[in-house]
Structure 1
Amino acid sequence: MVSKPIPDHVPPEMVKDFSLFLSPDMQRTPNGDPHAAVACLHDGPPIFFSPNNTRDGRGTWVITRAEDQRRVLQDPETFSSHRSIFASALGENWPMIPLELDPPAHAVFRSLLNPLFSLERVMVLEPVVRERAVALIDRIFASSTSCDVMKDFAFPFAVSIFLCLLGLSDERLDIFVGWGKDLLHGDAVKRTAAARAIVQFIDELATLRRKDPAADFMTFVVEAEVDGRPLTGEEVRGIGVLLLVAGLDTVATAIGFDLAYLARNPKDQKLLRNEPTRIVPAAEELLRAYSTVQMIRVARKDIDFEGAPIRKGDYISCATAIANRDPAEFDHPDTIDLAREDNRHSAFACGPHRCLGSHLARREIVVGLEEWLARIPAFRIKEGTSPITYGGQVFGIENVILDWS
């Protein structure tokens, strides 16, 4: 990662040696806890400048308070979401849609796509989601008394649902999992290669669906119209890429953190096993405690924000993991309380760009936990192994070896 100079307008006293990418607790660490590390930020200033806080080495202003993050995320007139974060890896400049569009264009595409991810639509999909979970878990249980839960369950489960939305079989599942890891967690070379492979795949699938329509997401997109016109090729690509990237990693990572927590906390595991109706609120609390995504906004104008001289073009970081450990927002935020009430977490962000797929993500997580606890006996972290965690644009966990022998 190449460091960018700290801008001249940033006061030296507002610079803090912390990065979601480079700080020690954000490196790949056995038994690490990046969420505890970001919780400590609440002992400091509500906003500071963090050098090297993006993949390309740029610094960002870091917003620590949940209330202030909401102010940023709900104000697209001041803080733009257009970064072309995916396209920039290819040296290009086109948005993932609707995530990287600002009003009024954002509302047009959001309205187009909302029905596909509504709660009603997700409930129609739930039998398929549960069927995929059951098949994977039964296969694991039949063959062993331990597994690498990320490789054997979390990633195959989440990615198979994404493939189902695209109307594709699971034959290329391992390829998609590999693309997701390289894109979100790989070095520059792997990231660029994965981005090119994803764009090529989306473009080819769009071409196929124009010629051979099916009852799937991509057919809907290539046949859709906005403002009385068909979508352009770039718009179709932007939508397809966002769906793919969002479906490859975040749900799997949430399930990984959840099962690692339950493996280390047998009382809570037993509680959910004996009272499965508690799984829904428990999943919300685990989403709060183990949030993973950093949202970046770009200042559209000069503004003084909580004493910080933000200038046009500055990057502003709103990391969900920080907001969801805010003691002003949550009682005892570092304590995981599976019965927590009024859980106003921001795991899915807020404002106009609140996660389009939040209903589907929630059901995948809940169904995954329900079926795992119903079908796998009491489990723990396998002796001699340690989960590995890391920070970044999306926090991650791997090497979660569960044992129930």
Structure 2
Amino acid sequence: MALNPVPDHVPPEMVGDFSLFTSPGMLPTPDGDPQAATACVHAGPPIFYSPFNTRDGRGTWVITRATDQRRVLQDADSFSSHRSIFASALGENWPMIPLELDPPAHGVFRSLLNPLLSPKRVTALEPAVRERAIALIDSIAASGTSCDVMQDFAFPFAVSIFLRLLGLPDHRLHTFVGWANDLLHGDDVKRPAAARTILAFIDELAAMRREEPVDDFMTFIVQAQVEGRRLTDEEVRGIGVLVFVAGLDTVAAAIGFDLAFLARHPKEQELLRSEPNRIVLAAEELLRAYPTVQIIRVARKDIDFEGAPIRKGDYVSCATMIANRDPAEFECPDTIDLMREDNRHAAFGYGPHRCLGSHLARREIVIGLEEWLARLPAFRIKEGTAPIAYGGHVFGIENLIVDWS
């Protein structure tokens, strides 16, 4: 992929040789640790320009300090979240809602959706989440002494919870996972095809729920009102696509990275087995160590930020994995300390767009770890295999084969 030229307003000395897509440790690597590989940027300036730091080859300013990232993510007047990430795969320009809306419209839709993923609602979902984890792990335990964590547990677990939220049956689970994989990690042919397929599915589901309402998320959306009116078809689509995409990949990846860490660290694994009350705290540290999302904003105006001449239209990257390795924010940031307290990590972002599904994601991760450790014996990476981890817009892990023979 050809690099975009560095814009004329970027001083040559502010161009950095780093990309979340192509730098060492970012390409799919056996036994790789792409999150740790991002820590190298903290040896350099607090902000620099990376000529290739998006899927489509665009350059971004890279904000390395957690405190500066919070300033950007809090300042919706200077930095917009509207990028049409999904719609651009179709050559279109409409927002995923509320992720790609700026205030005040963002607040209207956020208020509409907050109750659907509130702590109270997540507590009500918890028995179903735990039941699903137990069923999957018991099936794994009954079928042998090793498994592929992502295919046999992480994806079926996370995606089935999301399907329950949407009111959809489990039997299409592998189809949806395939769509998500093509959308988030596919090439220039697979990605637009997956986007079209997902869009048609969301439109079809919305039409079905208008005709025959049931007690689920999509029925709520097609019946909801904002400012005294029903949602437009584009607004229903924008919400549906966001929930679909966000529910499919990130929680599964988090569980995969967590279990890969525990497979490689038997002492930490044994600690959590013997003292399961520590899992909640440990899950926060693993979220800090292995976040998966690069957050990008678009400058709405010319602004000089920490000495960087950011100009209107420039992309500004606030990568969660970079913030979470900031030595000014965390003592010994490259050490994974499962007993770390006061863990102000950035895994769910910051500011008005902080992840809407964070309460549910946290409970899924904790319950997944609790039931895995309670139901399977000590496990390790299977001899002769190596998990493959990679960077990009959403970090991921695959081929995670564990063994407890």
Same fold (TM over 0.5): yes
**Structure 1 stretches of at least 4 aligned residues deviating more than 3 Å after TM superposition:** none
The percent of aligned pairs where both chains have the same amino acid is 80
Partner-residue secondary structure (3-state), 1:116: helix
1:9 aligned to 2:9? yes
**Counterpart residue number, 1:273:** 273
Q: Deviations over 1:274-324 (max 9, x none)?
A: 100000000000000001100000000000001100000000000000000
* 1:160-239 map, 5 Å: 160-239=160-239
**Counterpart residue number, 1:397:** 397
**Counterpart residue number, 1:146:** 146
Partner-residue secondary structure (3-state), 1:62: strand
Instruction: Tell me by how many angstroms 1:3 deviates.
Output: 2.1
C-alpha separation between the residues in 2 aligned to 1:404 and 1:64?
A: 40
Asked whether the 8 Å contact 2:50–2:61 carries over to 1, the reply is yes
* 1:318-397 map, 5 Å: 318-397=318-397
**Counterpart residue number, 1:43:** 43
For structure 2, the 5+ residue unaligned runs are none
Q: Structure 1 residues 340 and 261, CA, compared in 2 at 3 Å: closer, same or farther?
A: same
| TM-score, with length taken from structure 1 | 0.99
**Counterpart residue number, 1:308:** 308
Instruction: Tell me by how many angstroms 1:196 deviates.
Output: 0.6
Structure 2 letter corresponding to 1:19 = S
For structure 1, the 5+ residue unaligned runs are none
Q: Which moved further from structure 2: 223-232 or 188-197?
A: 188-197
C-alpha separation between the residues in 2 aligned to 1:369 and 1:347?
A: 18
Q: Deviations over 1:38-85 (max 9, x none)?
A: 111101110000011001100000000000000000000000000001
**Counterpart residue number, 1:137:** 137
C-alpha separation between the residues in 1 aligned to 2:156 and 2:188?
A: 25
C-alpha separation between the residues in 2 aligned to 1:61 and 1:113?
A: 31
Instruction: Tell me by how many angstroms 1:385 deviates.
Output: 0.5
C-alpha separation between the residues in 2 aligned to 1:225 and 1:397?
A: 39
Instruction: Tell me by how many angstroms 1:2 deviates.
Output: 3.6
C-alpha separation between the residues in 1 aligned to 2:321 and 2:180?
A: 21
C-alpha separation between the residues in 2 aligned to 1:230 and 1:373?
A: 46
C-alpha separation between the residues in 1 aligned to 2:92 and 2:132?
A: 36
Structure 2 letter corresponding to 1:39 = A
Instruction: Tell me by how many angstroms 1:340 deviates.
Output: 0.5
Q: Deviations over 1:158-206 (max 9, x none)?
A: 0001110111111110011111111111111111111111100000000
C-alpha separation between the residues in 2 aligned to 1:165 and 1:100?
A: 22
Q: What's the C-alpha RMSD, in Å, of the aligned pairs?
A: 0.6
**Counterpart residue number, 2:249:** 249
C-alpha separation between the residues in 2 aligned to 1:299 and 1:18?
A: 21
C-alpha separation between the residues in 1 aligned to 2:22 and 2:318?
A: 17
**Counterpart residue number, 1:123:** 123
C-alpha separation between the residues in 1 aligned to 2:373 and 2:180?
A: 27
Partner-residue secondary structure (3-state), 2:25: helix
Partner-residue secondary structure (3-state), 2:258: helix
Asked whether the 8 Å contact 1:2–1:56 carries over to 2, the reply is no
Instruction: Tell me by how many angstroms 1:24 deviates.
Output: 2.7
Asked whether the 8 Å contact 1:49–1:61 carries over to 2, the reply is yes
Structure 2 letter corresponding to 1:203 = D
1:295 aligned to 2:303? no
Partner-residue secondary structure (3-state), 1:349: coil
Asked whether the 8 Å contact 2:24–2:37 carries over to 1, the reply is no
Structure 2 letter corresponding to 1:179 = W
Q: Deviations over 1:109-137 (max 9, x none)?
A: 00000000000000000000001111111
C-alpha separation between the residues in 1 aligned to 2:6 and 2:170?
A: 46
Asked whether the 8 Å contact 1:292–1:394 carries over to 2, the reply is yes
Count residues in correspondence.
Answer: 405
Asked whether the 8 Å contact 1:34–1:390 carries over to 2, the reply is yes
Structure 2 letter corresponding to 1:215 = D
Partner-residue secondary structure (3-state), 1:26: coil
C-alpha separation between the residues in 2 aligned to 1:356 and 1:74?
A: 16
Structure 1 letter corresponding to 2:151 = K
C-alpha separation between the residues in 1 aligned to 2:172 and 2:291?
A: 28
Q: Which moved further from structure 2: 244-253 or 32-41?
A: 32-41
**Counterpart residue number, 2:89:** 89
Structure 2 letter corresponding to 1:161 = I
Instruction: Tell me by how many angstroms 1:6 deviates.
Output: 1.1
Structure 1 letter corresponding to 2:371 = E
Instruction: Tell me by how many angstroms 1:36 deviates.
Output: 1.5
C-alpha separation between the residues in 1 aligned to 2:220 and 2:319?
A: 32
